[in-house]
Amino acid sequence: MQVTPLNFRCSFQLEQQLPLHLHLLKKSLGIILGLALLFAFIDELGDVQGKYGLGEALSYVMLTAPRRAYEMLPMAALIGSLIGLGSLASNSELTIMRAAGASIGRIVWAVMKPLLVLMLAGILLGEYLADWEEVYKQSKRAYKAKSTEAMEIGTLVHEAIELWIQSNGKLKTEELENEHQKLGLQAFLAWGEEHSVEIVDNERIVSDNQTYAGRFDLLAFIDGKLTLLDFKTSTGIWDEYWLQTAGYADCLSDVEQVAVLRIDKHTGELEYQSKKNWQPYAKAFKLLSLS
């Protein structure tokens, strides 16, 4: 009968715990990193607008994963080690190992082995992936800032004007956080004073009860004439704008003219044009709606 020495059994048992410790460390890191990425994505949702959509936000958050993993490795190592040693202690395995002759140094070394693997992974992350991620992350931030600043200025100004109208003129420019919105609203208010604008109605759905329906932007007295005004964020005032605006005006009574207030989507500057002879455009719009 062959007898296995106790110290060999102890050594074998310690070696068996290494995969368990490594698994606990990876599991701890996965849970902590997953929660951090989830909260980061929720926080990033506040910046979603224009061309910076959910896909771009998710991509940006995932690019921060290497840096977050690098920062959380020490915490994951501590938690994983405590869970592993706690598991051994709860089953009295540590007591059995000590009784079998295993020294504290050997037990500590058995715990340190997976930690060394994790430490090596952390060095590689910090040396390569984390730096690359930081550079790429900054480029994503720059893209998002450029998208908001250059491509969506007109939309931002449009939103500020709508907020001012909905507040019945109570919204102050200093209450707006975006500088482009402040400047755009100031330009709109100056334009309103220049043309003696008196608002009658806004954002109301109209219909000819037969072929089409839609929501107009603003009905107001402009230069003393009842005007249906449409806001546009574009690089120019095109003929098709008059078709839709005139079609909506035809659903109302006493409209004297239709107008377009263009908000340049790149600069936020205002351009105003009006048409008194809008009825032909309304007829054309109705014909197009029937086709």
- pLDDT, tens digit, for every residue of 154-190? 778 888 888 898 888 888 888 888 888 888 888 899 9
Contact 65, 33 (CB under 8 A): yes
Please check the confidence at residue 146 and state whether its pLDDT lies above 60.
no
Contact 101, 9 (CB under 8 A): no
By the 8 A CB rule, do 273 and 192 touch? no
As given in the structure block, the two tokens for residue 32 are 């902590």
SS (H, E, C) 216-285: EEEEEEECCEEEEEEEEEECCCCHHHHHHHHHHHCCCCCCCEEEEEEEECCCCCEEEEEECCCHHHHHHH
Of residues 14 and 42, more confidence is placed in 42
Full set of structural domains in the chain with CATH: 6-151 (no CATH), 155-290 (3.40.1350)
Instruction: Tell me the mean pLDDT in the region 125-151.
Output: 53
Percent of the chain exceeding pLDDT 90 equals 19
Lowest mean pLDDT among 9-13, 34-38, 209-213: 9-13
Least confident among 14-18, 230-234, 266-270:
14-18
Task: Name the residue type at position 248.
Answer: Y
SS3 state at 94: helix
Give the pTM. Answer: 0.49
The mean predicted confidence, pLDDT, of the chain is 75
